[in-house]
């Protein structure tokens, strides 16, 4: 039987400034005993737990993204709706999930970046575009399923004998 201290820990990084599923992340992380980093550039209330760490980065564009991208590895899960951050983390080998439960991976990130760039170009040309729709119950359910699946897969990958 292997000692758990030999198995690398799975961590969850949350791009928290506009993340609507933080409470769901806390519940899943508590169930699996995972460390969560809530990364934002302003103070944010988080539950009191040694497994949840609030990280407040300095103000500035993409400072929180940089903090996450520098640390996320193949053993980690990143929760973000930020497509460029998702791309950086996928490149690092991290498992990346949007708050709607959409996984970002090597196969999907290129299309997501292309669509983001297209929408940015349309807006800068004066087109009126809508933001994302409000999070639905289905989105939350899809997110919880995706996060649970990601944790299960990483646990199997990191400890194949269990």
* pTM for the model: 0.83
**Listing from the earlier edge strand, what are the strands of the sheet with 35-40?**
52-56, 35-40, 11-15, 76-79, 95-97, 103-104
Could you tell me which of 36, 43, 39 has the C-alpha nearest to residue 19?
39
Beta 103-104 vs 95-97: how paired, if at all?
A: antiparallel
Please check whether residue 3 lies inside any domain of the structure: no
pLDDT band at 51 (very low <50, low <70, confident <90, very high): very high
Q: What pLDDT does 146 receive?
A: 96
Q: Output DSSP code: residue 59.
A: S
Tens-digit pLDDT profile for residues 112-124: 556 655 556 666 7
DSSP string, 77-105: EEE-S-HHHHHHHHHTT-EEE-TTS-EE-
Please check whether residue 16 lies inside any domain of the structure: yes
Please check whether residue 4 lies inside any domain of the structure: no
Bigger pLDDT: 157 or 111?
Answer: 157
Bigger pLDDT: 2 or 71?
Answer: 71
pLDDT band at 2 (very low <50, low <70, confident <90, very high): very low
Please check whether residue 2 lies inside any domain of the structure: no
Please check whether residue 1 lies inside any domain of the structure: no
Counted domains in the chain: 1
**Domain that residue 41 falls in:** 9-158
Most confident of 83-87, 92-96, 128-132: 92-96
Please check whether residue 27 lies inside any domain of the structure: yes
Q: Specify whether the CB–CB gap between 36 and 51 falls below 8 A.
A: yes
Please check whether residue 76 lies inside any domain of the structure: yes
pLDDT band at 3 (very low <50, low <70, confident <90, very high): very low
> Where is average pLDDT lowest: 60-69, 125-134, 136-145?
125-134
CATH code, domain carrying 23: 3.40.50
């Amino acid at each position: 039987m292997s000692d758990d201290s030999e198995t690398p820990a799975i961590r969850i990084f949350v791009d928290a400034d506009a993340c609507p599923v933080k409470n769901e992340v806390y519940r899943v992380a508590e169930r699996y005993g995972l460390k969560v980093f809530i990364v934002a550039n302003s103070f944010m209330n988080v539950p009191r737990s040694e497994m949840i760490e609030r990280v407040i980065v300095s103000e500035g564009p993409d400072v929180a993204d940089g903090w996450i991208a520098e640390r996320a590895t193949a053993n980690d899960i990143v929760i973000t709706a930020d497509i460029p951050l998702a791309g950086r983390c996928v490149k690092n080998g991290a498992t990346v999930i949007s708050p709607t439960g959409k996984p970002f991976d090597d196969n999907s990130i290129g299309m997501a970046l292309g669509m983001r760039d297209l929408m940015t170009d349309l807006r800068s040309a004066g087109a009126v575009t809508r933001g994302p729709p409000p999070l639905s119950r289905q989105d939350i359910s899809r997110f919880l399923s995706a996060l649970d699946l990601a944790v299960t897969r990483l646990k199997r990958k990191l400890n194949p004998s269990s």
